[in-house]
Structures are given as C-alpha cells and as structure tokens.
Chains A and B, each alone.
Chain A
C-alpha cells in the first residue's frame, strides 16, 4: 500500500443556500479544492462523492454523472462514484477514495460530499431515514428520539445533566465564530439551549445540528505525486470504516458505540499511535449527546465520564482534547453527505496551520463520522 496525502481542500459555505443549486454548491467547493491543490483539473483520475439522499431531497439520482459533468470531468470521461451511508456518506466516500490511491489504481482523485437539503419543505423525515424504518420509525421513534434515549440512560446511570449537553452546543457555537464557512457564527448561552423547545426529551432544538446545504471537497494523491504539488501535504495515516446493528434495540448496551470503538482501535493501530498522540478532533455531533458519547467511545475518557470532560473544559480549544474547532455539525452545519469530508477538511486545515483564529497546534488529528445512531462509523487519523 502507498501512503496517501491530501493536497487540496475546498468547501462551500454551509447553511440555507437559497440562491445556490446542488450543482452550484458542488462546483464552488470543487473549484476551491482544485485551486488549493494547484491543479488544472485534467489530472483527476476518479471522483468519489458522498451523498445521502439526492433522490428524496432534490429528486435527482445519478448524482455521480451530474457532478462529473458539471465539474468538467465528463468531457475527459473520468469515472464518478456516488457513495451512500446515511450521514456517514462523506466518510465512506473518503475511505473509498483513499483505497483507490493507496492500492496504486489511481494517483490523484477527488473525495467529495454534497447535499442540497432546503429544496424540500420538510427535511426531517428524510434526515430520519437513517434509522430502521420498520422497527424504529414505525412505532414513532425519530432520530432525535433514539439519541434522547441514549441521553436519558446516560443521565440515569452516570449523573450527567441537560446543562452538560448544553455546554457542548455552546462550545461548538463559540468555535464557529472563527470559521468563515460556518452556518452559525454567533455565540449562544447555556440558558438559550435550555430554554429552546424539546424535540425529544431530554434533547432540545439547540442540542441538534441544523438543516444545511453544503459541499466539501478533498483532493488525494499518492505521496510521490503529492510532493510535486505541495510542500505541505497532510497524510492520511489511517481510515477505517466499521458497522453496528442499525437499530438501537439490537445493541447490548445503547451507550456503547461498538462500530466507533472498533474503528478507533484499528485506526490507531494502523497509524501507529495512541489516542494521546492526537491533538485535534472533529466529532459527529448531530446531537450533543452523540459528541459526548464519542468522548467515551473514542477513548478520550472512561465510559460514563463524558460529561466530566465538558465540565473541566478539556474539549475546548486550548484544552487537552480540542473537539470540533470548526464548530462541528451543530454550528458549522450538517450538510449530511458532505459532513464526513467537511470534518476531514477541517483536520487538514488545522494540521497545515491554515485554520486562522481557530487554530490548534497539533501534529495529528482525528475525524469521526457516524451514520444514524452509529450503525456506520468512519474514523480517520491524519498527520502533517
């Protein structure tokens, strides 16, 4: 296997992009990545695109061909592959792109993610389609409801509180202030979260990531090729995907994210490092409780102590484990299929020293992208 580097990063603005179509959003991110990598465009040999639900959000399937076309890559017949794994679509697209370069099949490829969500009136049911429709959604559970049951059990078993969860939201909003691409560049207070309406008790509106349009693009190259284009390659030391039972009810313990645990263990082994060697993290905070459970399941703390990390400020920029300097899904935005690529892009910017006012000093970074309630997990470790 060859070493694989990220040589270009691009991202559209995330948010309610009323004036931009699906293609506009993708091209704005892609153009930025191509320029960042100093490519002309024709060097691209393949593209992998994470997209959760083009069919339901914009009634467009065959997303792969559409994007190749509007990226100017259909004219040179570049193969294009759309990847779907719920809101882990981006992470899985990145893994597939990585494999295509590591294996020696391709030298330069695009790993992208894109979603246009706001063209439908009510996106909630489509967002919820990552849960088991027959045995979770039918009895009336929602994605928020399932995470709420994890939160309720954590509070019961370990003494965490709604304030602890609110502090995660507050932290992510604070970080997003310094991210020009973020959807919400404004601070909120714990009280704002606590007084927002319940969606599924004990989770509230401001515990949840928003509805967002957006696209994110990375350009990957083999090590030798990467050196020709950039002096600051960031290497993907490992990227591992893992699965768990789709429905919470099938899991032995709903607070244990076994897909995440397995992927983290393998990813650290492949990257030949320990969790303590990683200095910056992007975690999948589709809900605040997801971020807190990731602290525990990734191994930043012991099981049942996630809320203590929040209380002690360890997950802030400047803390021992800075999580979501971008603002995370909560405040940077959650453009579903784009999220896994967006997280990886943030880690690359951080490791290159290009993260501006939200810069964290780190040698290694980790991104954790999950689908639904954790039935898919993608964990990647990057090094500068």
Chain B
C-alpha cells in the first residue's frame, strides 16, 4: 500500500470526525498543556532568577561551612603528629603509643593529652580507606578553599560584627567554647594546639556564663522577652572587654598548664584574688563573642558503651560538643589544603568547629555540594565530610526555595503526566475499537493487517501531532498570560530582594524547558504504543463478525 494512500485514509478520518477529534485531542492536550505550563513557568522563573541573582554572587563568598567536623578531626590528628615530630626533641619527647585495639593506628600520648584513634573498628577501617582531601571535594563543585583570614561569617559575627580579629589568629576563630566550666584539661588542650595564643586565648562563651562572669544577677525564669533582650544587649556591650584568667602550674610546649584549675577559680568574683596569688601562672582568656547556645548534657552514647573507654581527648571533645554554640580551634592556614579528610560514621570525635571556607562561584555549585556531601546519621552509605551549614541570607534562601520548587515541579509534572498518559491510552484504545467495522471493510476489499496497522499508526500520529500542538499552545498560552500579568511585579520584587534596583535583568515565565520535549515525545509514544497494543483486539479472525460488531 502506497504511503500516500495510507495518509489519505488516515487524514480522511480526522477530517470527517472533526468534532470527536477536537474533543479527544483537547482533553488530552489540556492535561499535557498543564504539564508544559508548569515546566515552562518554573524553568523560566528559575533561569531569570538565577541570571539576576548572579549579579550578586559573582565573585563573592556566599557560603561557609562553619563546621567541618572531619576536617577538624584530621587537623587535630595532623597537629598531633606534628607535635609528635616535635617531641623527637630530647627535651620534649612524648611516647608514641600503638593503639592496642586497631592495628595501624597510633597516637601520641602525653599523659593522655593527645590521642587520636578510631572510635571503633568501622571507624578505623573508614579512616584508613577513605582519603579524600578537602581540596578535592571543593574542586568537584567548582569550589575553592580559602583561609578564613578575614573571619568571614563566624557565628560570633552575629553578635560582634565589628570585632577585630586578634593578632596571630590566622584561621577560624573559636566559635563557642565555654571555658569557664570546662575541666582544666580542656583548657590545656586548647592552649596546646595553639601555643602562640598563650598570652590571650580568644574564646566565645555561652551567654549565661558571660552573665556570671560579669556578675550580672540571675534573671528570673519568667523574665519577659524585653528583659531577655536587654540582658543580651548588656552582655554584648560588656563582654568584648571581658578578660578572665585561668592559672597553671606546669607547661606544655612552653605554655603554662594548670594542673588544678578549679571551676570556682573561673568565677570572676574571685579572679582578682587568684591573680594576685600567682600572677605568673595565669592564662588570659579574652572573650570575643557570646554564643546563644547553652550547655546541653551529652546524650548520644558511643557504640557498645565504648564512649566511656575512649581516651581522654575524645572525651574532651565530646565535652566541647555538648555546647550549643560549637567550639573551635584556630587552624593554621597552611594546614587547610593539605590534610587528608577522613570519614567518620558518627561524629562523637568531631565538632571542633573551626570555620573552613569553601568559596563557590555559583549558587548551584553550593547546592550541589550540599546535596551530595551532607551526611545524615541514618544514611549508612554517606561519603560525606561533615555538616556544611549554609550562609544565612535571603538570597541563598531564595535559591534553596527555587530548588525545592524544582523538586515539587518534577513530582507534580510526573504525576500529571502519568494521569495524562493513562487517559490518552484509554482514549486511543476506544478510538481504535470504534474502528472495528471500518477495518473489517478494509479487509474485505483486500487490505492486509499490515496495511491497516499503517493507517492507524498514521492516524494516531496525526492525532498526537494535533494534541501536542494544542498542548504547546495551552502550556505556552498560560505561561504567557502569567508573564503578562506578573512579570513586572516579579521583576520589581526580585530587584528589591537582591538589592539590585539598576539590574537590567527581568523575571519572566515564558521559555523553553528541555523536558517539554519529553512531554511531546510521551504524547507520540503513548499514542504509538496504544495503537500497537489495541490493534490485535480490533481485528478478529472473522471479518463478518467484525462487521456485525
């Protein structure tokens, strides 16, 4: 059978059954049109939004990972090893103690002050198997590791935005160490990590302890929000100048270390007396920030009760972890790029929250980074490097929201698409079954099954083409209507949000989304499949039976 005859017969059906064709195609096209509408509006909004926001993001740091727990842990490890090297000095020799439980791991021990070891067997295995550098991770997402020499985006900035970084602080600042209630060994550890901070260790302390140090009276439990706000402001105003002292009787790498720092010695009301008793043994702590966090009891148990058995430093770190504001060390800049990251399934050895900055050139890279690298505790397969916290900004929030909408749009369009496909399948099935008598006559006058199949494939392809065209008209029509109605106000609002009154970019809702092609393809594919699947039902062995049916 010639193609021209096939087309003539298929087109003739459309021509005469105009009403039915229009109803069938319009019904299906409406559903697919809505899908196209969603895709078009969303992708256009997202594209225009990204274009406008790029003016803000270009060349700016807009994310920090304020807590890179594993990185910090490894830094500690590296630092411990460095200390070990230093310990080869005859005068400063510290024994290297092999880990009895996990072969291959070793740690330094100096009265249990520096111990880096796996917390359990799995931890040890992961430590040895997974070596990925932070630089590598950053590169994967077009990121760039930078030293936080400018003190960008520290949590303390929320409270003391104008604070100068103390001299000598090259890396991230501590972000919430409640020195006043930590056991003296914690203090020693902190100092040991950064001996050059011996003269004045900058700390951030929880607000409630700052109040104690400042001899502020305790607020009643039922204090009003206004009183609380006033109290916080009072603390903020006074804390930056607050200096308090611990005292030591020993040294550690030249840093005075106190064997017996008493908790009460940290009570500022008694500081003056203690300072006067042994001024040379004092360590000065300068408060540079107040964290809003309060002390929380540590409630996460270690595996198989292992936590109680963990060496000293790990317990110390756990202790630091118990503060809501986090804790941190000053990480030397030169360490940042070189150290191997280790993966920890659980985080009880980490949360030494120094700030490490990864600068991303595009918001999308940051979002990808977070999506792929964020580690959830209930995800046993995660291969991540710590909990990256997003930079709190409305711009970033807009991006996050856009991505969330994207997910919603994908699900919604998939759902609508499936419904549309089922309806289309049913409609095509009915259309073809209604053609039973016509096909029987074709056969009676000499048509083979193949010839009839060609006619109906052509017929349904023409139906699909009409449907797809209508769907595009409906989808883009609605998008255009939305554009005409809202583009101006969306643009104005977005410029305000981004702070770009002079932006040349506009927000629009009409554009092309590559997924539209999938929708159009689905229309044709469903039509074709239904034709082929329904075809055999349309033709029985007896022509007469089909004619009479």
A binds B: no
Q: Which residues of B contact A (CB under 8 A)?
A: none
Interface residues of A (CB under 8 A from B): none
